[in-house]
Structure 1
Amino acid sequence: MSLTAIVARALTVDFGGALALDDVDVDIAAASLTVIVGPNGAGKSTLLEVLAGAREPSSGSVEVGAHSRAFVPQRAAVSEHLPLTVRDVVSVGAWGRAGALRRLDASDRAAIDAAMVRLDIAAVARHPFASLSGGQRQRALLAQGLARRAGILLLDEPTTGLDAASAERNRAAIAHECARGATVVCVSHDDRLISDADHLVELDAGRVRVAHASPEGVRAARAPVR
């Protein structure tokens, strides 16, 4: 029996009378890839934000035990006036692990370097983050999540809007995280990523429509998922 990394119960998110999530129960298996799917407006990103601790639910609970979490949104708005390099942005992940009062050590710096190499952004490490293309920014944000070396990695559309090579790099990085024992949760419409999933959660109108607990269930459910 697999261990559970996240237990969410009776999650409700109310946006002024519109329910983005409606009494959602989710169990996320540890050391696995779970993909959250469903139509636009189903509540997928809202659920991910709640699981990541980035949004407080209107009601319900999320338990993650002692696991650390790293959340990678689909986009990040960075002011053109902030003097942040790509390496600065990636380093935020290591700072999140180390804490603001401790200097980054050799292992932290190695994790930053490895993340940038894995996402093929080492060559632009000194470039301003705000100058990057949308695809490069997404890869830098994922590198930031990798540098955190968190037990739980939560990703919103990690391959959307990327060229084929960049999308494949991101999928390979996700597979590497799972191989090291991390729990990865993605919102995605990417058929390749869905096919790679160990578990699938399908949302519709803020409710869980299907929650599969095996790769076989994922494959069986892929045809009706859009």
Structure 2
Amino acid sequence: MSQDTLQEHTELRMIIKFNSAYGGRMPEPSSTMFAASLRGVSVDYAGIIAVDAVDLDVAAAALTVIVGANGAGKSTVLEVLAGARAPSTGTVTISGVARAFVPQRSVVSDRLPLTVRDVVTVGVWGRLGHFRRVSRHDRAVIDDALERLGITDLASLPFFSLSGGQRQRALLAQGLARGADLLLLDEPTTGLDAGSARLIRAAIAGQVRCGVAVVCVSHDERLISDADEVIRMSRGRLVKNTHAEDLDGPPRPRPADW
């Protein structure tokens, strides 16, 4: 197997893991009104504290946006919520059984030999279980996700042939197809054309109306203005009642996978 082919399979397995039923671990049950809670969560990268003793409650059926300077720990918190990153200390409580994580589009390699429909179909794999084929219902869910993001006519095209905005819409459609209780999005509209950003914001609002808890890391002012709650982070910690211009501070060391 060539190095490129090995890389393709590795990246595909990573996407499947992100959108598996339990995000890699069985969630702890919760009887609260929150979709997820973090208590005393810290993440240590070889002595560098990326997230420092974070307590966070994610409201159900609401849009929570995490903001802050680059290197503040926002994406790391999102990965912990997704189950893609284990905390060094602290506890993670998830009330639903299904999570979907849509990473930044740069995570997905151009070498993946997938069509747009293939990418969206990955979203239903986590709930199919072993030996189950995609059913008529699953295909309807996939079709609905494609339609919501305006990419039905692109379904048969290779994923690598899409523009940046189209790729991000396909990745979000994958998250919608998961049918998750908790939808986690890392910079879903950054660098996109106005039309793609508008479709993504509309899809996010639609998920919240359907009772899904959505957590975004974002610098999109429109998305932030739509939020039910804005969580500000600085130097790995949550910051309360702080203006955005006060979040930057001195830069911290930043590991490559922060």
Alignment TM-score, normalising by the size of structure 1: 0.90
Match of 1:39 in 2: 69
The answer on whether the counterparts of 1:93 and 1:146 sit within 8 Å (CA) in structure 2 is yes
Q: Distance in 2 between matches of 1:167 and 1:225?
A: 25
Aligned in 2, Cα 1:44/1:126: closer, same or farther, shift over 3 Å? same
Residue 78 of structure 1 aligns to which amino acid in structure 2? S
The match for 2:96 is 66
Which has the larger displacement, 53-62 or 168-177?
53-62
Once the two structures are TM-superposed, the CA of residue 133 in structure 1 deviates from its matched residue by 2.0
Q: For each residue in 1:136-171, what CA deviation from the matched residue of structure 2 results, as whole angstroms up to 9, or x when unmatched?
A: 111110000001111100000111011111100000
8 Å CA contact 1:97, 1:149 repeated in 2:
no
The whole-number CA distance in structure 2 between the counterparts of 1:67 and 1:153 is: 12
- 8 A contact 1:119–1:173 mirrored in 2: yes
> Of 104, 109, 114, which aligns to 1:78?
109
Q: Which residue of 2 aligns with 1:112?
A: 142
Q: Distance in 1 between matches of 2:210 and 2:158?
A: 31
RMSD over equivalenced CA pairs, Å: 1.9
Q: Which of 60, 71, 89 in structure 2 is aligned with 1:30?
A: 60
> Structure 1: how far apart are the matches of 2:89 and 2:214?
24
Aligned equivalent of 1:57? 87
Could you list the runs of 5+ residues in structure 2 that have no partner in the other structure? 1-31, 249-258
List aligned pairs for 1:184-223, cutoff 5 A. Answer: 184-210=214-240
Give the structure 1 partner of residue 78 of structure 2: 48
For 2:45, which of 12, 15, 28 is the aligned residue? 15
- Residue range with higher mean Cα deviation, 58-67 or 189-198: 58-67
Cα 1:221–1:176 shift into 2, 3 Å: farther
How far apart, CA to CA, are the structure 1 residues paired with 2:116 and 2:101?
Answer: 18
Return the offset for 1:35.
Answer: 0.5
Q: Does 1:178 align with 2:197?
A: no
Equivalent residue, structure 2, for 1:99: 129
User: How far off is 1:78 after superposition?
Assistant: 2.4
CA distance in 2, matches of 1:221, 1:117: 38
Task: Report if the CA contact (8 A) 1:153-1:185 is conserved.
Answer: yes
Task: Determine the C-alpha separation between the residues in 2 that align with 1:17 and 1:223.
Answer: 28
TM-score (norm 2): 0.79
